[in-house]
């Protein structure tokens, strides 16, 4: 995969830092590589569903975000990224201490980029596959991510 912008890590981290909702959830961006990112989120009762596990919406949010930023690592400085759609399979309850989401570009493209994301639930140091997603992202040519709300 070809990097369009050597400062991709800074750009991804800056964009992530501007997402108030990620801050509210407490998601941390732990790794940013070419075509791949990794995020983590510690357990917090506020993020739970009725059985005290991580809420599916939190798992979905991490999957969507990890897919989006994986694609964003390959973008030009003038371009930004938009989630077109994703499909997620929830395969085990979010019963644990920490969620770890790893997004990877499966197929880069000029207009559309396809990413895969795995979300793991960690409990007592053991990781279990919790969810997997397949995402379609669109490059917004000439709409830099830094542009403010119109």
Question: Which residues make up the interface to its own copies (CB under 8 A)?
Answer: 15, 18-22, 24-25, 45-53, 55-58, 60-62, 64-65, 68, 82-92, 95, 106-107, 109, 111-112, 114, 116, 129, 132-134, 136, 138, 145, 147-149
- For the bound state, the minimum distance from the C-beta of residue 63 to its own copies, rounded and expressed in Å, comes to 9
**Paired residues of 115 in beta bridges:** 105, 135
Both structure tokens of 104: 């990877």
- For the bound state, the minimum distance from the C-beta of residue 144 to its own copies, rounded and expressed in Å, comes to 11
* Choice between 33 and 106, CB closer to its own copies: 106
Residue listed under structure tokens 């409990």: 123
Beta-carbon contacts of 62 under 8 Å, excluding residues fewer than 6 positions away, are: 27, 39, 41, 99, 101, 117, 119
Q: What is the DSSP letter of 54?
A: B
- For the bound state, the minimum distance from the C-beta of residue 15 to its own copies, rounded and expressed in Å, comes to 6
* Choice between 33 and 60, CB closer to its own copies: 60
Strands 28-33 and 80-90, bridge-based pairing: unpaired
- For the bound state, the minimum distance from the C-beta of residue 34 to its own copies, rounded and expressed in Å, comes to 18
């Amino acid at each position: 995969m070809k990097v369009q912008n050597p400062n991709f890590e800074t750009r991804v981290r800056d964009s992530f830092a501007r997402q108030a909702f990620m801050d509210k959830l407490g998601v941390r961006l732990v790794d940013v590589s070419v075509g791949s990112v990794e995020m983590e989120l510690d357990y917090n009762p506020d993020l739970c569903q009725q059985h005290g596990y991580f809420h599916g919406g939190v798992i979905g949010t991490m999957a969507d975000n990890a897919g989006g930023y994986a694609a964003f690592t390959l973008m030009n400085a003038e371009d930004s990224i938009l989630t077109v759609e994703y499909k997620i399979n929830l395969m085990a309850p979010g019963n644990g201490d920490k969620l770890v989401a790893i997004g990877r570009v499966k197929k880069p493209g000029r207009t559309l980029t396809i990413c895969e994301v795995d979300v793991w639930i960690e409990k007592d140091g053991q990781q279990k596959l919790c969810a997997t997603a397949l995402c379609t992202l669109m490059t917004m040519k000439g709409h830099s991510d830094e542009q403010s709300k119109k």
